[in-house]
Amino acid sequence: MEPRKVSVAAHYKLPWFLTSFARILDFVSKGLATRFLWRIFCRPIKFKVPSREAEFYNKTEQERIDTESVSKKIMLYRIPNDGQRILFVHGWNGRSSQFYRIIELLSDNGYDITAVDLPGHGRSSRSNTNLPEITDLLSEITKSRGPYDGIVCHSFGGVAVLNSVRRGASCEKLVLISPGIYEIKPMFKTFVGLFGLDEEYYADRLFGLAESLYGTNPGNYGLERFSKQIDTETLIIHCEDDREALKEIAITLHGEMKNSTLHLTEGLGHRRILRDEKVAEMVLNFL
């Protein structure tokens, strides 16, 4: 299976009124339909925080910051320590507290912890966001709050982190857990398919709209464009049965990233992998 293929997660199955409205717009105006799709595409979903993550908020120092790159309130979490400095970056529709197991183990072993809720996610201000904006934010944080000895990221967060590293963000080691995207265009097509619309047609229109808004081709953010240039020591962890981010993405990245190690797990899916004790120990031993 090619790494560019992606699957559709259950929580992306949209309400009937959204898909119906998109189809009506498709009939009335392709331009309006494109802008509606873009608005939904850029709007993260905030899910209820499970009780198992509550202790994360009790243990961390929290600071809502302003940044030059993003005109939105961004939440940072800190557990200060004297050891190596580690930054955590969650995935799309995620939050920093999902890393609670790994963060607890690292902080207990003296690591200095910083975690960020991306724009529109977690306790950061509710808003639309996108990959170019998140990449800019991470580049700024690593420069103004770093340097970091290591960055641990999950799913979509790994794509943004790798793009910021390509642009000069410095760290000694990277941990990619369940990297979720390899090429950008298939992600657009999969999203359009949720609405039952012409995937190729609207993916092209969304690409064009994104380029007009941000002055760059979204495809340039795809990992296939630059992964071979990343020489940072990297640990890639992925589950064999991940239904949201296929393991072929991790396998392909491992083959292309010149200084990477790959570990495949079983039975942990896409998110449960973040709270597995063996995975946390693997991250600790690597860092």
Instruction: Note the pLDDT of residue 8.
Output: 42
- Do residues 212 and 145 lie in contact, with contact meaning Cβ atoms separated by under 8 Å? no
**pLDDT at position 4 over 70:** no
User: What pLDDT is recorded for position 190?
Assistant: 87
Q: How far apart are CA 89 and CA 115, in angstroms?
A: 6
pLDDT value at residue 2: 53
Closest-CA residue to 173 (of 153, 155, 159, 157):
153
Interatomic CA distance for residues 44 and 87, integer angstroms: 21
Q: Band the pLDDT of 48: cuts 50, 70, 90.
A: confident
Place of tokens 């955590």: 88
Name 134's Cβ contacts closer than 8 Å, sequence gap at least 6: 118, 119, 160
Q: Is the pLDDT of residue 197 over 90?
A: yes
pLDDT above 90 as % of the chain = 73
**Structure confidence at residue 13 (pLDDT):** 66
Opening angle at CA 225, ends 219 and 231, nearest 5:
140
- Position 117 scores a pLDDT of 95
Q: Which fold has domain 51-181+222-286?
A: Rossmann fold (3.40.50)
Q: In this predicted structure, what is the pLDDT of residue 11?
A: 44
The confidence band for 5, taking pLDDT boundaries of 50, 70 and 90, is very low
> Residues 144-170: what's their mean pLDDT?
93
pLDDT of residue 10: 42
pLDDT digits (tens, 9 = 90+) for 75-97: 999 999 999 999 999 999 999 99
**Residue extents of the structural domains in the chain:** 1-41+184-221, 51-181+222-286
Helices 184-193 and 30-41: crossing angle in degrees, nearest 10, is 110
| pLDDT tops 70 at residue 113 | yes
Taking the C-alpha atoms of residue 123 and residue 53, their distance in angstroms, rounded to an integer, is: 13
pLDDT, position 125: 86
